[in-house]
Amino acid sequence: MPELTDAQLDQLIKDIGLKRPRGGSQRKPIAHGTYNGYRQHVYRKEQACAECMEANRLYLRERYAKRRQGGGSQ
Ligand SMILES: [Zn+2]
Protein backbone atom coordinates (compact mmCIF):
# COMPACT_ATOMS: atom_id res chain seq x y z
CA MET A 1 0.00 0.00 0.00
CA PRO A 2 1.27 3.46 -0.82
CA GLU A 3 1.95 5.68 2.16
CA LEU A 4 -0.10 8.81 2.37
CA THR A 5 0.93 12.06 3.92
CA ASP A 6 -1.37 13.64 6.48
CA ALA A 7 -2.44 16.17 3.91
CA GLN A 8 -3.30 13.49 1.40
CA LEU A 9 -5.22 11.52 3.99
CA ASP A 10 -7.11 14.62 4.99
CA GLN A 11 -7.94 15.26 1.36
CA LEU A 12 -9.13 11.70 0.95
CA ILE A 13 -11.40 11.94 3.94
CA LYS A 14 -12.75 15.21 2.65
CA ASP A 15 -13.35 13.67 -0.76
CA ILE A 16 -15.30 10.82 0.75
CA GLY A 17 -17.23 12.98 3.16
CA LEU A 18 -18.05 15.70 0.70
CA LYS A 19 -21.36 15.65 -1.04
CA ARG A 20 -21.17 15.72 -4.77
CA PRO A 21 -21.52 19.13 -6.33
CA ARG A 22 -24.51 19.35 -8.58
CA GLY A 23 -23.67 18.60 -12.17
CA GLY A 24 -20.23 18.01 -10.76
CA SER A 25 -17.65 18.37 -13.41
CA GLN A 26 -14.78 17.76 -11.05
CA ARG A 27 -15.80 15.03 -8.71
CA LYS A 28 -17.80 12.45 -10.50
CA PRO A 29 -18.08 9.14 -8.72
CA ILE A 30 -15.66 6.67 -10.17
CA ALA A 31 -17.22 4.03 -12.37
CA HIS A 32 -15.29 1.15 -10.91
CA GLY A 33 -14.57 -1.85 -13.07
CA THR A 34 -14.37 0.18 -16.28
CA TYR A 35 -11.55 1.67 -18.27
CA ASN A 36 -12.98 5.11 -17.54
CA GLY A 37 -12.89 4.28 -13.87
CA TYR A 38 -9.25 3.40 -14.17
CA ARG A 39 -8.59 6.73 -15.86
CA GLN A 40 -10.38 8.52 -13.03
CA HIS A 41 -8.18 6.82 -10.48
CA VAL A 42 -5.11 7.89 -12.41
CA TYR A 43 -6.43 11.39 -12.79
CA ARG A 44 -6.82 11.61 -9.03
CA LYS A 45 -3.28 10.36 -8.62
CA GLU A 46 -4.40 7.37 -6.66
CA GLN A 47 -3.85 3.69 -7.15
CA ALA A 48 -6.61 2.10 -9.14
CA CYS A 49 -8.65 -0.52 -7.35
CA ALA A 50 -8.47 -4.14 -8.43
CA GLU A 51 -11.64 -3.89 -10.49
CA CYS A 52 -10.38 -0.92 -12.44
CA MET A 53 -6.93 -2.44 -12.90
CA GLU A 54 -8.58 -5.48 -14.39
CA ALA A 55 -10.80 -3.39 -16.64
CA ASN A 56 -7.78 -1.48 -17.86
CA ARG A 57 -5.92 -4.68 -18.53
CA LEU A 58 -8.80 -6.07 -20.57
CA TYR A 59 -9.21 -2.79 -22.40
CA LEU A 60 -5.59 -2.68 -23.44
CA ARG A 61 -5.61 -6.30 -24.44
CA GLU A 62 -8.69 -5.76 -26.56
CA ARG A 63 -7.14 -2.76 -28.18
CA TYR A 64 -4.05 -4.66 -29.16
CA ALA A 65 -6.12 -7.60 -30.34
CA LYS A 66 -8.21 -5.31 -32.51
CA ARG A 67 -5.12 -3.73 -33.99
CA ARG A 68 -3.78 -7.09 -34.95
CA GLN A 69 -6.96 -8.24 -36.59
CA GLY A 70 -8.25 -5.01 -38.05
CA GLY A 71 -5.50 -4.31 -40.54
CA GLY A 72 -5.23 -0.78 -39.20
CA SER A 73 -7.73 0.94 -41.48
CA GLN A 74 -9.02 3.10 -38.64
ZN1 LIG B 1 -11.91 1.61 -9.15
pLDDT digits (tens, 9 = 90+) for 28-64: 789 999 999 999 999 999 999 999 999 999 999 999 9
Structural domain for 59, as ranges: 29-74
The answer for residues whose C-beta is within 8 angstroms of residue 29's C-beta and 6 or more apart is 20
- C-alpha 50 – ligand 1 centre gap (Å): 7
| Helical (H) or strand (E) element with 6 | helix 6-17
| Confidence at residue 28, expressed as pLDDT on a 0 to 100 scale | 76
Domain assignment of residue 57, yes or no: yes
Residue of 41, 15, 19 lying closest to 30 (CA atoms)? 41
Band the pLDDT of 23: cuts 50, 70, 90.
Answer: low
pTM, two decimals, is 0.54
| Statement: residue 18 has pLDDT above 70 | no
DSSP one-letter code for 73: -
Domain count, the chain: 1
- C-alpha 35 – ligand 1 centre gap (Å): 9
Domain assignment of residue 9, yes or no: no
Band the pLDDT of 19: cuts 50, 70, 90.
Answer: low
